[in-house]
A and B are shown apart, each in its own frame.
Chain A
């Protein structure tokens, strides 16, 4: 069973009426995380392709991050077809395992679930970010070597259907 945009809208409406603080849903290539206090970070719903992708990265402020968090889940015009992988913490974004080596992933590349997508470095400590689902890489939002913030979109994947 695929989850439609109408389903997501219904979930959002219910969530708004409820006194729940956060809700997380992962099903059929859709990952939805809603929060009333921002604690769940920026995420991650359907339809990244329909979401305008601003110039990302180090220069944007906190307010902009919050807008990104709110926008996707309520955009009724876009089909729920993509996954946005976000930064697990602040850090420096690297597309390749070492300088000069090929990137983990390129736009258009097919990736398996769990495949390495990029690295986030914090004081020489590297965290690997993996694909949450098999699919095609449809966008890489950050330039190599840039500082990313927690929750910032890194890579978009069109999940395999």
Chain B
């Protein structure tokens, strides 16, 4: 038998705790690298050992690649769990681990690089026969834009070649709007990225964000764990995630799964990954968005409906246990919904509200799961992402899950810091949400309308 593995956890918060607990269940020791701000965290106490990497600033602790790898090596670890965020999708970090003989629990550095670049991923998708949003090559000026838009069909949206995040994005419903919006969009892109090049894409008025959870075996075989609907977003940030995507016609759903498998299979993808799509509800068509080469925040809803422990699969594969589950053994049962509990104050435009949690009474009961790394008395530090917990419910039907979620949110007691729990209650109780009539802009156009008007 090979020497036992020891796992370095290169993350914090709930995903760190989740990985520690899963490793413990597998009999694997863990070493958690923390910043000085997290030395008393629940995850630090749960790990076999915790080492303080550096000061609170993530750039001098969690994001310092050499520091993290040195800590992993010097503490006798054989494998490293990156989680999501931080170093999880840095191809050069995965390559550094490979060069140093440290098992990176995830895809290879080459696979991360292959899907990490927006244009490279698009051409991969194209080669694999995955539908893409109809778009144009780079456009030089207004006349060029008008010609391209005629071909694509209105409405169109301008996008910056050099980056995302809403910069350089203008929606045009007519040639007139496009002629007026093109110049300002190019100027905005130039200001944001130092590069004003634009291209056009067809704009989907009522789009759903639907993604397929995949798990690659590394030999070209890729399993899918069905799909998720993550359309409820604020500023491109997911707030509610569900599995399955109840809105999909079965034929489209099957096509979506096939597309994800074809794309990841073409690079013999290994470990957990997600292929994101934009679903046009009016036309019942989908188009490729991007690949996330890591475990995602919302993976528990897929676990709830399939009964599969994805983190266990990740660790098992990385540590050499062959995955013997077949696609035909993976079934989707019932409906699951996750909401992200944030230390943010909706009344103050979702300003972060770090501080000491003086009361923490999460809901309990059948079909309720809480992934968290805080407890009563915990300090929520101001330096990192504001997500403090994920509440996941599972029921036979979507309506049952919504009812269970409303009940659970009502039972959730948190004091000492502001949270979005009250806001989530309003959201989940909204008629549009209950009837599943949402899209990616729904939150901004309904509950957040006052905020949008003020912006």
Task: Spell out A's residues near B (CB within 8 Å).
Answer: 37-42, 58-59, 61-63, 65-66, 89-92, 121-123, 125, 147, 149-152
Contact = CB atoms under 8 A, between A and B. Distances in A.
Contacts of A66: 39-40
Interface string B80-122: 0000000000000000000000000000000000000000000
Nearest to A123: B66
Contacts of A150: 35-36, 52-55, 61
B416 interface: no
A151 B69 contact: no
A39 B58 CA distance: 11
A151 B50 CA distance: 14
Interface string B59-70: 011001011011
A90 to B, nearest CB: 5
| Centre residue among A40, A121, A149 by max chain B CB count within 10 A | A149
A90 B54 CA distance: 6
Nearest to B383: A39
Given A37-B381, A61-B49, A92 B36 contact: no
B37 A62 contact: no
Nearest to B382: A37
A31 to B, nearest CB: 16
Contact of A62 (B39, B64, B66, B70): B39
Contacts of A151: 36, 52
B407 to A, nearest CB: 35
A58 B52 contact: no
A90 B33 CA distance: 10
Closest 10 CB pairs of A and B: A62-B39, A62-B50, A149-B52, A123-B66, A39-B56, A62-B44, A147-B74, A150-B52, A89-B54, A150-B54
A106 to B, nearest CB: 25
B75 A147 contact: yes
Given A39-B56, A41-B55, A147-B75, A91 B36 contact: no
A65 B52 CA distance: 9
Contacts of A39: 36-37, 55-56, 381, 383
Interface string B6-40: 00000000000000000000000000011111111
A90 B39 contact: no
| Centre residue among B33, B53, B66, B74 by max chain A CB count within 10 A | B74
Interface in B385-401: none
A38 B69 CA distance: 23
Given A39-B55, A122-B67, 17 more contacts: A39-B36, A41-B52, A42-B36, A58-B51, A62-B40, A62-B44, A63-B39, A63-B45, A66-B39, A91-B67, A123-B67, A147-B51, A147-B71, A149-B52, A150-B52, A150-B54, A151-B36
Q: How large is the interface on B (under 10, 10 to 19, 20 to 34, 35 or more residues)?
A: 20 to 34
Contacts of B379: 37
Nearest to B100: A123
Given A58-B75, A149-B51, A150-B52, A92 B40 contact: no
Q: Is the interface of B mostly helix, strand, loop or mixed?
A: mixed
A91 B54 CA distance: 10
29 contacts: A37-B37, A37-B56, A37-B381, A41-B36, A41-B52, A58-B74, A62-B39, A62-B41, A62-B52, A63-B39, A63-B40, A65-B52, A66-B40, A89-B53, A89-B54, A89-B64, A90-B33, A90-B67, A91-B70, A92-B70, A121-B70, A122-B66, A123-B66, A147-B71, A149-B51, A150-B52, A150-B53, A150-B55, A150-B61
B8 to A, nearest CB: 12
Contacts of A42: 36
A90 B70 CA distance: 8
A90 B51 contact: yes
Contacts of B70: 90-92, 121-123
Given A37-B381, A63-B45, A90 B53 contact: yes
A47 B74 CA distance: 31
B44 A61 contact: yes
A38 B39 contact: yes
Nearest to B355: A37
Nearest to A125: B66
| Centre residue among A41, A90, A152 by max chain B CB count within 10 A | A90
B172 to A, nearest CB: 47
A41 B71 CA distance: 18
A98 B196 CA distance: 52
Contacts of B74: 58, 92, 147
A125 B69 CA distance: 12
A59 B379 CA distance: 25
Contacts of A37: 37, 56, 379, 381-382
B101 to A, nearest CB: 13
A43 B36 CA distance: 12
Contacts of B75: 58, 147
A111 B54 CA distance: 27
A42 B49 CA distance: 18
Nearest to A152: B52
Contact of A123 (B51, B56, B60, B69): B69
B416 to A, nearest CB: 14
A151 B36 CA distance: 8
Interface string B271-308: 00000000000000000000000000000000000000
A121 B382 CA distance: 29
A89 B51 CA distance: 11
Nearest to A145: B74
